[in-house]
Amino acid sequence: MMDEEIKEEVKETEENNTQKEIEELTDRYKRILAEFENYKKRSAKERENLYGSILSDIVTPMLPVLDNLEKAVEVKTADEAYKAGIDLVLKQFKDVLNTLRSKRN
């Protein structure tokens, strides 16, 4: 009888230890998962900020070129082919800038 009680106690203790271990591992898993989700969000935000910064560094020096192209389009000229060429370059330049802007959003 005593042997059975001891075996039952040992079995109960093992079950309690196993349950505790499962709870600890589950808690650890949940914490790691939450940390990973936070890391992903932080990384995405950092990438977005970096992209915006790089884009600004590239586009800002091009704005005077855009202004000059717009001025060139306004100049009266007898050479219609030249004017059409400037118009096309201006349109292409604006299309590129719009594409970059839309990628950011």
Q: Is 79 left (phi over 0), alpha (psi -120 to 50) or beta?
A: beta
pLDDT per residue as tens, the chain (105 positions): 678 888 888 888 999 999 999 999 999 999 999 999 999 999 999 998 998 888 888 889 999 999 999 999 999 989 999 999 999 999 999 999 888 888 766
This prediction has a pTM of: 0.54
CATH number at residue 26: 3.90.20
Q: Which of 41, 67, 55 is nearest to 99 (CA)?
A: 55
Burial of 41-74, coded b for 16+ CB within 10 Å and e otherwise, reads eeeeeeeeeeeeeeeeeeeeeeeeeeeebeebee
Give me the number of domains the chain comprises: 1
Q: What is the domain extent for residue 31?
A: 2-104
Dig out the tokens for 69 from the structure. Answer: 């192209």
Q: Position 43: which residue type? A: S
